Amino acid sequence: MSGDQTLLAEGRRISLELTKQGLCEYCKQPTEHGPWTDAQLAEVIADLGCELSDFADHCDDCFVVHVGGGDVEHSQSLLKRPLLLAHPEHLAQVQRLKFMAAAKALQDFRAKHGPGYRQSPSSLPLWEEFFKHAPPDVMKKFEDKAMELNLIPDTKFVNDAGDPVFSAEQIAEKLGMPVAEVEKQMRERFADKIETGNVHSIQ
Ligand SMILES: [Zn+2]
């Protein structure tokens, strides 16, 4: 066995030992499901179709972070029982890491493509990822900047949830673009952002 394999085998032995004691492989805190008897372990191994040495138990928080990639909804879809999260704040840390990775990806993109990088269509997925994980304080800064640059039209319409909705005419006026061009770009690039529900005038 190479040194790495020895380490791996040792890691698995420790994980299994923790599992038998009813402790989480990652944070070593008691899980909701353990401790496991040898008979229970044999049953679950047969059920999963894996080797005993491949089995390790996790608390629900670590399951979301390490198995579900920080996505609570996705993690829940992998389990038959409801998730019991003791430390939802760990998930905020995962969000933060994802946001930092997205910011780094944008930075690298800018370094490679120069100042015109914002106009490149291939930057769009990077921006989407960036805004998807951006914490509220960062979102607020972007909104404030957009306000300052006078890029956001006045709120004249809202949807059923009360969120502002802008017409293509309003956006075209702000950006100095033809309405038809705004409509075309919305359809091509932001189809999922087009309001499909009720829109109410607030003036
Ligand atoms: Zn844990």
Number of structural domains, the chain?
2
Cα 175 to Cα 154: distance, rounded to the nearest angstrom? 13
pLDDT for res 24: 92
Q: Does pTM top 0.75 for this prediction?
A: no
Flag whether 93 is in a domain: no
The CA-based angle 111-112-114, given to 5 degrees, is 70
Residue 186 CA, ligand 1 centroid: distance in Å:
43
Residue 64 CA, ligand 1 centroid: distance in Å:
9
- At CB < 8 A and 24+ separation, what contacts does 127-130 make? 129/98, 129/102, 129/105, 130/99, 130/102, 130/103, 130/105, 130/106
Flag whether 140 is in a domain: no
Percent of the chain at pLDDT above 90?
A: 8
Query: Which of 61, 86, 111 is a domain's end point?
Result: 86
Neighbours of ion ligand 1 (CB under 5 A): 24, 26-27, 59, 62
Residue 13 CA, ligand 1 centroid: distance in Å:
17
Task: Examine the pLDDT at 148 and tell me if it is beyond 90.
Answer: no
Q: Which domain holds residue 159?
A: 153-203
pLDDT for res 2: 67
Lowest mean pLDDT, pick from 4-13, 23-32, 90-99, 169-178: 90-99
Query: Which of 86, 108, 143 is a domain's end point?
Result: 86
pLDDT for res 203: 64
**By the 8 A CB rule, do 22 and 33 touch?**
yes
Query: Which of 33, 58, 86 is a domain's end point?
Result: 86
* Token pair for 48: 């999963």
Cα 178 to Cα 169: distance, rounded to the nearest angstrom? 8
Residue 23 CA, ligand 1 centroid: distance in Å:
8
pLDDT for res 1: 55
pLDDT band of 54, cuts 50, 70, 90: confident
Task: Examine the pLDDT at 23 and tell me if it is beyond 90.
Answer: yes
**By the 8 A CB rule, do 113 and 120 touch?**
yes
Flag whether 24 is in a domain: yes
Residue 133 CA, ligand 1 centroid: distance in Å:
23
